[in-house]
Copies of this chain bind each other. A is one copy, B any other.
Amino acid sequence: MPSYTAPVKDQMFVLHDMLNVSASDIVGYEDLDRDTTEAILAEAAKLAQNVLAPLNPVGDTEGCVLENGVVRTPRGFKAAFDQMREGGWTALDCDPEYGGQGLPYVMNTAVVEQFSAANMAFSMYPGLTHGAYSAIHAHGSDDQKATYLPRMVTCEWTGTMNLTEPHCGTDLGLMRTKAVPQEDGTYKVTGQKIFISAGDHDMSENVIHLVLAKIPGGPDGIKGVSLFIVPKFMVNEDGSLGARNAVSVGKIEEKMGIHGNSTCVMNYDEATGFLVGEAHKGMRAMFTMMNEARLGVGLQGYAQAEVAFQNALDYAKDRLQGRDVTGVKNPDGPADPLIVHPDIRRNLMDQKSFVEGARAFVYWGAQMIDRAHRQGDKDADGMISLLTPVIKGFLTDKGFEYATAAQQVYGGHGYIEEWGMSQFARDARIAMIYEGANGVQALDLVGRKLAQDGGKHVMAFFEMVKGFAAENKGDEAFERDFLAPLKAASKDLQAAGTYFMQNGMKTPNNALAGSYDFMHLFGHVCLGLMWSKMALAAQARLDAGDGDAEFYRTKIATGRYYMARQLPMTATHLARIQSGADTVMALDAAQF
């Protein structure tokens, strides 16, 4: 059975050595001193390692079952959920007014990484609830907040997000679910929603569905979509549960992975719903949570790669197969461990340098979200909006790629379910699809985000990289190993942007046909920047002579690997982009 060890040391390094959170001016960050953050992470690690990780294969094997209209979760899930609730983990960054602990989002992100790596399917139950909490918190009425939020903060009631319908996923303007206004101010919601994660289950008293639907007579398409609260059980004035609402589970989907999460078809049959925010402004309400939700999915991508990497590394150290060509390393054994072989190293270093770079990227993004929300910083908000599709698309593509690469280290055993490596790959696969398929992320990046606010944010990004390089020049090794490749990669990204401007205005397909490569190119530049920042932070600790020197040296060596072996991808992405749309669009649909 695979195992998971929470990477507390590396999480601490990113939070404190790289981001220096405790010295930040962001409101609330003053609580994030080393002792407090380490205590929180160490405590979360116990739950992740000892409770959630052992349940991960159980969830995969048993899956969820629909019995008499009610979903039964895998053995042990309910007890684990109770433990999570009792530990206060679901309330970490929630508003103290509703029972939350009010910690910064960056801290919650680090904790959620552990839960997600340990058991992705399980962590989606509180994850979806958190999303629904945020939507009601941002857009609900005071009354709605008072009614629902305190129980959602504790996960006594869980939440869901209902967007997709059988005939519409990305294109929500095609939506058919309707919400008919009633005289008492409520709505009757009717329609079918699919792919509803955590749609129903036996771990909470109530499920609060957030449902997008159209009010008849409203504007056509996406502009006529409104957001509704549809509780599974109606809530009485005193907060007790009332009658069952007319919402039911049609079926549970059989999926490639995340079997422990109940992905439901939800049927609404004149269910009572309550409008959240303004009528026809439902998409706006969704969009305000999108940065957080998408960052959370990007996190899932690298979290699965992290746990897969940990197990591949153990296997590579244990499994004896072949001999080191440069000289026997294990003379007393029948063979040397796999890790002596250069191609196994290449694979493990690809994984390690990705996972650690991705962690830094996501925490850095989470800090931007804190700056945007807690300080009202519009520049931070613009920058994280720009980077969100990169975080989501690039990290989930790579997360799956490296979960698969970790599986490869096991040879034939990687293909056998019992060893657990298949599950990591199968679970990671969904992150490339949900919360906006990665092609849609690329479209969002190139079609919307680049030009947002007159291209201000992408310019700011390039200025930031330039400023970083200027501020940190002088050290020959750092310039050669980090700054030079970072500048080259950033130059490729700028060249791609220039290509889009020069060729995409008249012929938009020239930009759109390069959107996916642009998203990946951007991702590499971001990870190059993260590795440069981490190398500096590690060097500073080495120079100061404090801390674990071995850890810092390893950090710098891993960064050198990323810069030397991963950043060269930017040249290929640029070449693909600059080849334009001609070859991409050459065929008529019928010619394929």
Could you list which residues of chain A lie within 8 angstroms of chain B, going by C-beta atoms?
164, 167-171, 174, 194-195, 253-257, 313, 317, 320-322, 325-326, 334-335, 337, 339-349, 352, 400, 404, 407-408, 411-412, 414-418, 422, 425-426, 429-430, 432-434, 437-439, 442-443, 447, 508-509, 512-513, 515-516, 550, 553-554, 557-558, 560-561, 564-565, 568-569, 571-572, 575-576, 579, 581, 583-587, 589, 591-592
B586 touches A560 (CB 8 A): yes
A174 touches B572 (CB 8 A): no
CA A173 to CA B426, docked complex, whole Å: 33
Secondary structure at the A interface, as helix, strand, loop or mixed, is helix
Q: Could you give 20 example pairs across A and B, Cβ below 8 Å?
A: A168-B321, A169-B412, A170-B322, A171-B335, A174-B321, A174-B335, A325-B508, A326-B508, A343-B516, A345-B584, A349-B587, A404-B429, A408-B432, A412-B433, A425-B429, A560-B583, A564-B576, A564-B583, A565-B576, A571-B575
CA A376 to CA B120, docked complex, whole Å: 56
Q: How far is the CB of A531 from chain B (nearest CB, A)?
A: 12
CA A254 to CA B413, docked complex, whole Å: 11
B557 touches A579 (CB 8 A): no
A347 touches B583 (CB 8 A): no
CA A416 to CA B169, docked complex, whole Å: 14
A583 touches B412 (CB 8 A): no
CA A579 to CA B575, docked complex, whole Å: 21
Chain B's closest residue to A551 (CB) is: B591
A346/B584 contact (C-beta < 8 A), A411-B437, A437-B411 known = yes
A416 touches B253 (CB 8 A): yes
Q: How far is the CB of A33 from chain B (nearest CB, A)?
A: 29
Chain B's closest residue to A568 (CB) is: B575
- CB-CB under 8 A from A254, the residues of chain B are 416-418
Q: How far is the CB of A565 from chain B (nearest CB, A)?
A: 5
Q: How far is the CB of A470 from chain B (nearest CB, A)?
A: 26
Q: How far is the CB of A428 from chain B (nearest CB, A)?
A: 11
A412 touches B195 (CB 8 A): yes
